[in-house]
Structure 1
Amino acid sequence: MKRMINKTPGSVLRMSLGLLPFVLLLLIYMAGSDARLELNPDDKLLPSFAQMGDAIHRMAFEPSKRTGEYLFWADTGSSLTRLGLGVVIAALIGLLLGMLTGALPMIGAGVSPLLTVISLVPPLALLPILFIVFGLGELSKVVLIAIGITPFIARDIQRRTEEIPSEQLVKAQTLGASTLQILIRVVLPQLMPKLIDAVRLSLGAGWLFLIAAEAIASTDGLGYRIFLVRRYLSMDVILPYVAWITLLAFLLDIALAWLSRRLYPWNVQGGR
C-alpha cells in the first residue's frame, strides 16, 4: 500500500484541491448570508452577492454626484500609484544598500548594524512623525511604504550578495577589474532576479502600510474608502474592496514572477 507521504497529485487534482477551500468558503458565506437576510432583510453584516454587485456597479460605472469621478477606479489608481512609487524607491535604495554592505566589508561593518536596528522599528509607529515632517499629502504615504520595506529588501540583497562565490570576484580581479567594474559587471546582474524576488515578498507589507496611511489621512484610495464606509456598516462595499485588493496583490505577484522568468530565465527561483 502506497503511503500518503509518497502520493503526489496530478495537475488536474492539484488544481481541484487548490480550488476546493475557496468553493467551501463561498458556500459557507452564501449559507450564512441567506440565513441572516431571511431573518432580517436589512441586515448589513453578510450582504448577498447581488447586493455587493449592485454596490460595486454603482461605484465603478456611475459617476459620483459630488466629484463626478468613478470612485472605484479613482481609488484603485490612487492606491496603485502610491504603492508603485513606494516600492520602486524601496527597491532602488534596498538594492544599493544591500549590494554595498554585502560586497564591501568596510561599508558592511559600518552600515549593517544601523540597518538591523532600523528594520526593528515598527514603520506604523513612524506614521505620525512622517505626517508632521512631510504633511498629509502623497509624499508621507509613499515615504511610509519605502521606509517600511526598504530594510527587508536591503537585508535580503545583502545576504544574496554574500552568497555569490568568492571565486568569481577573484577571477574578475585577476583579469584587472576594478571594484566598480566588479559591482556592475559581476555582482549586479546576479542580484537583479533576487531583487524581484525580494520585492514580491515585500508587497504584502507594502499593501499593509498603504492601507494604514490611506485610512488615517487621505481623500481617496482603497484603504480610505474601506474606512470611510465602515461608519455606515457598508459591508457590501468593504468586502468587494478587500477582495479587489487581494486580486490586485495576486496579479502584481504574477506579473513580477513573469517578468523574472522573462528577463532572467537562468535564475532557478525566478523561473518557478
Structure 2
Amino acid sequence: MTLSQTSEKTPVEKTGVPIAIRNVSKVFGEGGDNPFRAMGPVDIDIPAGQFISVVGASGCGKSTLMLMVAGLMKHSTGEILCDGKAVTKPITNVGIAFQDHLLLEFRTAFDNVMLHADIRGLDRQMIADRARDLFAQLRLEHAMDKYPRQLSGGMRQRVSLIRTLVHEPDVILMDEPFGALDALTRLQVRTDLEQLWLRRRPTVIFITHSVEEAVGLSDRIIVMSPSPGVVVDDITVTLPRPRPIVLGDAPDFASYVDRIHQHFERMGVLHGITPQTKIAS
C-alpha cells in the first residue's frame, strides 16, 4: 500500500490554539559592542491544532524560536501571539519536551509524570487516570513503578512524552525530543507521538534535524536558513494520516525530502546532492 492509498481516520475536533509569530527576531548582546543577530525576522502563522516542524542547520535559531514562543526568552523585535494574547511571560497551558528526558532519578516513572499535579495543583485523581491511560497506550504499564535508571533510553523518552501530554495542554513545544534515540526506537516513538497527537490535536511546534522525521510527522515544515535564521520555505505536507511507521521510498514522501535537501544544498548546509526534483517557487 502506498502513502496515497492510506486512509485517515475521522479527525477529532482540534483542541489547540492559534500561534502568530510576526516580524520576530532575536539579537544577543543588544546595546553592547558586538551584538549578534541569531534569528529573524520571522513571520509564521500557525492555525489551531496544526503540527509544524522547524528544520535547519545547527545555530539557525530553531530552539531560540521555540523558547520565545514559550515565553522563556524575550524576542528583540516583533510580537508573538498565543490564542490572540501577546506572549510577554512564560505561557502556562503548554507541554515542553527536550532532547534530554529530564526525569528525576529519585522518582518512579509514574511519579515523574505526576509532577504536573504536584507543581500545578491539579486534580491528582484526574491526572493519575490520564497517566495510566497514556502508559497503557504506549505499552509501558510494566514500567510505571520503575526508576529512570531501570528503563531503556526509548522507555525514558516515552515517559517524558507522557509527562508532556498528561495535563492535556493546548500547545506542545518539542526540541529534538528523539535526538538521543537509536534509529529503530525513533521510528516507534515518532509513530507513538503521532497517535497521541491525533487524539486531541493540540498545536505543536517540533524542532528537529531529521528531514524524514519532519515529513513523517508534520502538517507543515518550516525550513530555515543558516544563522541568522529566516524562513526560506513553508511546505504543506498532504500525506494522509495515520502515516506508516516506515515511509520508505514512496514518491510522494521522497518529493518532500528532496525539496528540503535541495534547499540545504543551495544554502551550503549539504554538499554533493544530485537533484531529482526542482524546488517549488
What TM-score bracket applies, with the shorter chain setting the length? under 0.3
TM-score, normalised by the number of residues in structure 1 = 0.27
Greater fraction helix: 1
Greater fraction strand: 2
Higher relative contact order (CA 8 A, sep 6+): 2
Higher gyration radius (CA): 1
